[in-house]
Amino acid sequence: MARRYLMWFAHEHLDFRHSEMYSILSLLNLKIKFIEKPSIDKPYWIVELPSESCVKKIASRSVLLKNCIELWSRAKSETSLHENLKSAVKNISGEWIVPSTNDDASDIHICPSELIEACSRKDKSFKIDVETFCKHFTMKEKVDKIEHFSYLPLEGPVKLKNPDITLSYIEFYGVDPNNVPEQPCDLFFGRWVADGQRDLIQVHSLKKRQFIGNTSMDAQLSIIMANQAQVALGDVVLDPFVGSGSLLVAAAHFGGYVWGSDIDFMMLHARTRPTRVGQKVRHKEESIKGNMNQYGIQSRYLDVVVSDFSLPMWRDDLKFDAILTDPPYGVREPTEKIGIERDNYSLLEEHLDNHIPSKVEYGLPHIYSDLLNFAAKHLRIGRRLVCWYPLVRDEYREDHLPSHPCLELVGNSQQVLSKLTARRLLTYQKISDEIPNMPHDPNAGAHNFRDKYFAVGEISRREKKERRAEEIANSALYIKAKQEKSSNN
């Protein structure tokens, strides 16, 4: 039987909540019914879902979902909430309870007595948790609030660690810490059903990851990306700008078999200057594969290859189930491809062995045109490309986002980076197999982030100097690594 649930979300990355949840719902082929229109000002949704197992499946994926409870009562005042529960206790015969007194239009009195009855058995241990949002209460005050529920016919023993049943009482005081009301504006009571995947943020934290680079993607955003790409067990996933492989970790966690490629030999071999403050040299174990071992997902690691994305490397008929990527923005790493400005240039035979290919600018409009063309060709129909897109906030226009006739934009969430800049997480779904290789979209240039970023002076002279020093240090390391490699051979 469909039941009502309260889904409680983390109050961060608000713009991503809808996209992450809808990607998960469509991946699991589930329909959700809203009992109350969701609002970005509220960290919760009140919904109807077909069964508890559906709730658990959703929670097993979402990193923005904190937890989910089977909702027994929702009220605008404490009195109303308790009255509703008391009438359900009286009417233990199992009928839906008709709201009693004191009802606000938005009170939800849904507590069929059978829900309480199922929790009252003598052999079921239980505890009641109290959570308050935007207001702090002492332990003593929380215990007092728990005492108010003593009329519930809970016959089993109280057990604080791993009880059979956890009942949850939540008081919501709004989201403005500078304007906290005396009384809660919303109150909820119900049975805890499942936690979301917030723990993964710690487990996959970059702080504890063996190998990271300057632009490694944080754990939470990587998981959101894997969810929006709907990565599932057995999928073949590619990150063509793989860097230190953070997105591969998230994709492999959900069962994807992962490939990566990157133009930067040094990054792929974990030989760039160490990113961690105080670390002088890279450790031997640092590598993308080492990260996979760290999380026990090495069996899902296919490989990474050094390759310039502007030069097609994959067989034409090869298909991926998902492409997740964070292309270079030209700020913390250069946007370059292999090439030479001079015409009719050819390399002398004697220089072949030690040749370091020269590079030319690979502007963002070209990168995104190549990326969308690549996705249109190499994604399976119905599958997704999820990528970041940087821009200057004031100049954002949805109709200037990269586009392709074979790809439908199904998600577009903003992460603010600074007063002036932001990046958008774009999710495209492949809708057609008629693959016109689109020329570079002239509109895509409208958001030429790099030029505008530097033009608005977002980078300081000190940062420029530091970056230059890093480039010089990296080329010295590169030559050393190449020499080591050829002497090993």
Ligand X SMILES: C[S@@+](CC[C@H](N)C(=O)[O-])C[C@H]1O[C@@H](n2cnc3c(N)ncnc32)[C@H](O)[C@@H]1O
Query: Where on the chain is the footprint of ligand X (CB under 6 A)?
Result: 213, 215-217, 241, 243-244, 246-247, 262-264, 267, 308-310, 326-328, 333, 335-337, 362
**Minimum CB distance to ligand X smaller for 4 or for 204:** 204
User: Smallest distance from the beta carbon of 388 to ligand X, in angstroms?
Assistant: 8
**Minimum CB distance to ligand X smaller for 254 or for 309:** 309
| Euclidean distance between CA atoms 84 and 368, whole angstroms | 56
Q: Which residues pair with 239 in a beta bridge?
A: 260
CB atoms within 10 A of CB 87: 17
User: Smallest distance from the beta carbon of 242 to ligand X, in angstroms?
Assistant: 6
**Minimum CB distance to ligand X smaller for 129 or for 458:** 458
Give the relative orientation of helices 219-228 and 246-253 as an angle to the nearest 10 degrees: 60
State whether residue 221 is helix, strand or coil.
helix
**Minimum CB distance to ligand X smaller for 112 or for 213:** 213
Is residue 135 a contact partner of residue 173, using CB atoms and an 8 Å limit? yes
State whether residue 469 is helix, strand or coil.
helix
Cα angle for residues 482, 488, 489 (degrees, 5° grid): 90
Cβ-based neighbours of 34, under 8 Å, separated by 6 or more: 45, 46, 47
| Euclidean distance between CA atoms 139 and 141, whole angstroms | 5
**Minimum CB distance to ligand X smaller for 75 or for 225:** 225
**Minimum CB distance to ligand X smaller for 172 or for 389:** 389
**Minimum CB distance to ligand X smaller for 120 or for 474:** 474
**Minimum CB distance to ligand X smaller for 82 or for 366:** 366
User: Smallest distance from the beta carbon of 54 to ligand X, in angstroms?
Assistant: 32
- Residue 200 phi/psi, 5-degree rounding, is -60, -25
**Minimum CB distance to ligand X smaller for 14 or for 338:** 338
Q: Token pair 């860097």 is at which residue? A: 243
User: Smallest distance from the beta carbon of 474 to ligand X, in angstroms?
Assistant: 11
Among residues 78, 77, 97, the alpha carbon closest in space to that of 87 is found at 97
**Minimum CB distance to ligand X smaller for 17 or for 337:** 337
User: Smallest distance from the beta carbon of 12 to ligand X, in angstroms?
Assistant: 20
- Residue 347 phi/psi, 5-degree rounding, is -90, 135
User: Smallest distance from the beta carbon of 459 to ligand X, in angstroms?
Assistant: 16
State whether residue 66 is helix, strand or coil.
strand
Is residue 239 a contact partner of residue 321, using CB atoms and an 8 Å limit? no
- DSSP element (H, E) containing 364: helix 364-378
**Minimum CB distance to ligand X smaller for 134 or for 263:** 263
User: Smallest distance from the beta carbon of 311 to ligand X, in angstroms?
Assistant: 8
User: Smallest distance from the beta carbon of 463 to ligand X, in angstroms?
Assistant: 16
User: Smallest distance from the beta carbon of 336 to ligand X, in angstroms?
Assistant: 5
Closest-approach residue to ligand X (CB): 243
| Euclidean distance between CA atoms 16 and 12, whole angstroms | 9
User: Smallest distance from the beta carbon of 23 to ligand X, in angstroms?
Assistant: 19
DSSP label at residue 198: T
User: Smallest distance from the beta carbon of 326 to ligand X, in angstroms?
Assistant: 4
| Euclidean distance between CA atoms 293 and 331, whole angstroms | 31
CB atoms within 10 A of CB 362: 22
Q: Return the structure tokens found at 8.
A: 């409680």
What single string gives the DSSP state of each residue in 95-139?
A: PPPPP-SS--TT-EE---HHHHHHH--TT--EEEEEEEESS---H
User: Smallest distance from the beta carbon of 409 to ligand X, in angstroms?
Assistant: 21
**Minimum CB distance to ligand X smaller for 228 or for 246:** 246
**126-133 vs 165-172, strand pairing mode:** parallel
State whether residue 447 is helix, strand or coil.
helix
Among residues 59, 41, 377, the alpha carbon closest in space to that of 238 is found at 377
